[in-house]
Amino acid sequence: MGTASDRPPARTGVNGPGPSRHQGAARPGENEALAPTTTPSWWRRALGTLLGCVTALVAALFFPVAGVALGPFLLRPPTRAASLEILMAGARRLVTLERARRSAFFGDRFPEPYQASDRKILRYLAIRSSTGLLCALVVGLLVFGAGLAGLLVYGVVRGTLGWDELLTQALLGGVLLFLDVQGLYSLAALDTRTARACFGPSERELLQRRIDELATSRAAVVAAVDAERRRIERDLHDGVQQRLVALAMLIGRARRGRNPEQADALLRQAHEESQGVLTELREVAWRVYPSALDSLGLEEAIGGIAERGGIPLRIRFEVGAPLPRPVETAAYFVVSESVTNAVKHASASAVSVAVTLDGTRLTVRVEDDGAGGANETGGGLTGLRGRVAALDGALHIHSPLGGPTTITAELPCA
C-alpha cells in the first residue's frame, strides 16, 4: 500500500540471503547489550564462577603457547597474515566458550548478530584471564579459611582453645571472610561488565546509537510535517479553492442574469456546489486531525474510516485500557493511510484491521488483498514510518508483488 508514488505498476511474473518478511524500523530490544533472561539460582552462578576460573586458566595459557608456536611466523611479513588469522581463530573459540558460560550459568542474552573487533576480543581475553585467576585465588583463600574455621571449632570442642583466643580468631576470621566475599562480588561484577563490553554494544555505543536514533526520528518528523503541510496546501488549492472559484462564478452569473429561470438553475447548481465544497472541507479537516478521536475515541474513529472507505473493512479492537493521545493519533493515521492506499492504489476488495494492546505495547495490523508491491521509500509510507519512529515504535511492511500487503505498527504506550 502507498500513495501514487509509493507503488510501482503491478507486474506478473538485514543480513542473510533473501528478502526479509518484515522490513522497517529497528525492533524494540535489539540494542540491549546484556540482560538476564531468567534469575539463576545461587548454586548455578557459583558453579559458573568456578568454571570461569578454569576457563581463565585456559585463556592465560593460550597467550604464551600461541606466542611460542606462532611467534616466528608472526615476525615474518609473508606469513604474518595467516598466523594472525590462526591466532584470532583460537581467540574467538575461547570467547565463544566464555559467551556460552555466561548464557548457561548466568542467564545472559546478547544481541545477534554482533561481531566484535580483534582488538576487543584480545582485550577481553587478557582481562578475563587475569580476573579469573584472581577469582581462583580468592576462592582458594575462602576454602583455606573454611578449613581454619573447622580447626577452630575442633579446638573449642576439645577444650584446647581459650575464650580470649577464640574471640580473637573469630573476629579476625570474620573480617577476612567479609573481605573475601566482597572480593568475589566485585570480581563477578567486573566479569559481567567485561562481557557486556565484548559481547554486546558498550554503554557508549548504546548512547551513540540512541542519539543517532533520536536525530533520525527528529528529521523524519520534520520531513513528515513538511510533507503533510504540502499535502494540505495541495488539497486546498487543487480541490477546495477551485470549487470555491466555480461557486463564485455561478453566483456571479446568477446575479447578472436577466432570465429568472436561468438564474434559478444557476442558484441550484451553486447550492449543490456549496454542498460539495463542505464535504471536501470535512474530508481535508478529517485528514489533518479527526475530531472523533477527542469525542469518541480510537475505535469509533477507525469505524469512521470504514464508513468512508468504500470497501468491506473488518475491525478487531482489543484494547482494555486508556491509550496516550499521541499513540491514539499515530494508530489512527496508520489505519487511515493504509486503508486509503489499499483502496486507491492496490485495487483491494477487502481490508482487515486488528488493534491489540499487550501490556504496554499497542500493535496495529492492517492487511489487504490488493496487488501488493508497495514502495517503502514513497512519501506516504515514509511519513508513517517517521510518525511511528517519533514514539519509539516500529513499522513493518510486507508487500510482495501480487499481494497481500500487511502493515504492522508497534507503538509503546509506557
Alpha helical stretches, state H, 236-259 = 242-256
Cβ contacts of 236 within 8 Å, gap of 6 or more:
284
Same domain (yes/no): 405, 261:
no
Same domain (yes/no): 181, 60:
yes
What gap in Å lies between CA 298 and CA 386, rounded to an integer? 20
What gap in Å lies between CA 311 and CA 347, rounded to an integer? 10
Low-confidence residues of the chain, pLDDT below 50? 1-35, 37
Does residue 13 lie within any of the structural domains?
no
What gap in Å lies between CA 172 and CA 184, rounded to an integer? 19
Answering whether pTM is above 0.75, one says no
CA nearest 52: which of 121, 134, 109?
134
Same domain (yes/no): 301, 284:
no
What gap in Å lies between CA 59 and CA 85, rounded to an integer? 17
What gap in Å lies between CA 14 and CA 215, rounded to an integer? 22
DSSP secondary structure string for all residues of 212-242: HHHHHHHHHHHHHHHHHHHHHHHHIIIIIIH
Does residue 158 lie within any of the structural domains?
yes
Does residue 6 lie within any of the structural domains?
no
Give the HSE-up count for residue 356: Cα atoms under 13 Å, Cβ half-sphere.
Answer: 6
- The pLDDT value recorded for residue 362 is 92
Q: How many domains does the chain have?
A: 3
Same domain (yes/no): 194, 66:
yes
Does residue 125 lie within any of the structural domains?
yes
Same domain (yes/no): 103, 164:
yes
Alpha helical stretches, state H, 289-397 = 292-295, 298-309, 325-345, 379-389
Does residue 399 lie within any of the structural domains?
yes
Does residue 268 lie within any of the structural domains?
yes
Same domain (yes/no): 273, 380:
no
Q: What is the extent of the structural domain holding 346?
A: 296-412
Same domain (yes/no): 394, 330:
yes
Same domain (yes/no): 194, 94:
yes
β-bridge partners, 405:
368
Does residue 401 lie within any of the structural domains?
yes
Give the domain-ending residue among 288, 321, 338: 288
- The pLDDT value recorded for residue 202 is 61
Same domain (yes/no): 150, 61:
yes
- The CATH number assigned to the domain holding 351 equals 3.30.565.10
Same domain (yes/no): 155, 67:
yes
Same domain (yes/no): 62, 197:
yes
Same domain (yes/no): 302, 357:
yes
Give the domain-ending residue among 201, 233, 249: 201
What gap in Å lies between CA 335 and CA 158, rounded to an integer? 83
- The pLDDT value recorded for residue 36 is 52
- The pLDDT value recorded for residue 149 is 82
Give the domain-ending residue among 142, 168, 201: 201
Does residue 24 lie within any of the structural domains?
no
